[in-house]
Amino acid sequence: MKNTYLFLAAALLLSTTACDTTRQTQENEAQMATDVTGERSGPTPSGAVMSKDGLRVYAFNDSPTFPESQLRLNSPATGSVVEPGAVEFSYDLSNYQLTRMTSHTNSEHLANSEQGQHIHNIVDNEPYTAHYETQFTKDIEEGDHVVLSFLSRSYHESLKHKGAYDLRMITVGRPAQRMEFDTNAPHMFYSRPKGEYTGADTERIMLDFYLVNTDLSTTGNKVRATINGSTVFTLDRWLPYIIEGLPMGENTIKLELIDNAGTVLPGPFNTVTRTFTLTSNS
């Protein structure tokens, strides 16, 4: 009988400890979300919050996924030659609605396009142009060009599954010098931040980039993000990230696709620096 009581007491203690541990974990996660923003709002952190030099950086992974959506660029075709100037782009799109506002609270807490969901079109890793129809023209100079297209939520977060993007090379005009680009090698393309942020949009700045033929991990490739020339964060998950604590005025972000030893992977776009501006309402 005594052994039975001891067994029951031990089981009760283990159960209580497990419940306490679970509750503490939940409280810590909730506190982490609260600490980042000062209130329960905005994207929910996925993993640890990284803090350095007054900046806070954290990944989030709570947006709608649209796993069945598919995007394919029909024209210009891969390897095609088109005339310089207004190049016509035409896409096949399925299971995704352009111009629709992404139905999620993140649209209320991040810089959000009033025109809704769209396509990001990136030529040679230059700043993207946003398009709300599957057909449009875009001025492109003579030369060989790398074109990346991907689907975007209304708040500019990219869809990252395989069918949501299209990567190809096109030739515009008859360039004297040709570009060599391995479409099967690991590549990184810059997406956000971009342009000017004002008012409440300056509180949370989304960092988003696009990877092709690679992923990130604690033991593999990573992205090194250097903010304003000196503050470095190493990102080991291919997710969008929130940056908080940026100063008003011009800011810079340098992104590098690196291997586990910290060496930049070869590729024409695997190192990129961009500037963007934060301004108050006044």
2-49 confidence digits (pLDDT tens): 444 444 444 444 444 444 443 443 334 434 444 444 454 789 999 999
Q: Domain containing 152 — which CATH number?
A: 2.60.40.10
3-state helix, strand, coil in the chain (%, to 5): 15, 40, 45
Q: Return the sign of the alpha-carbon dihedral for residues 110, 113, 119, 120.
A: negative
Identify whether 76 is preceded by a cis peptide bond (ω within 30 of 0): yes
Is residue 175 assigned to a domain? yes
pLDDT at 5: 46
First to last CA, the chain: 76
> Within its chain, how far is the Cα of 59 from the centroid?
9
Dist. CA 135–CA 137, nearest whole Å: 7
pLDDT at 282: 57
What digits encode the pLDDT tens for the residues 170-216? 999 999 999 999 999 999 999 999 999 999 999 999 999 999 999 99
Is residue 174 assigned to a domain? yes
Q: Is 139 left (phi over 0), alpha (psi -120 to 50) or beta?
A: beta
Dist. CA 211–CA 97, nearest whole Å: 23
Is residue 134 assigned to a domain? yes
Q: Which of 88, 185, 186 is nearest to 136 (CA)?
A: 88
Is residue 38 assigned to a domain? no
Identify whether 175 is preceded by a cis peptide bond (ω within 30 of 0): no
pLDDT at 65: 96
Q: Which residue range is the domain that position 163 belongs to?
A: 70-279
Average pLDDT for 221-228: 98
pLDDT at 42: 82
Is residue 137 assigned to a domain? yes
- DSSP 8-state symbol, 201: G
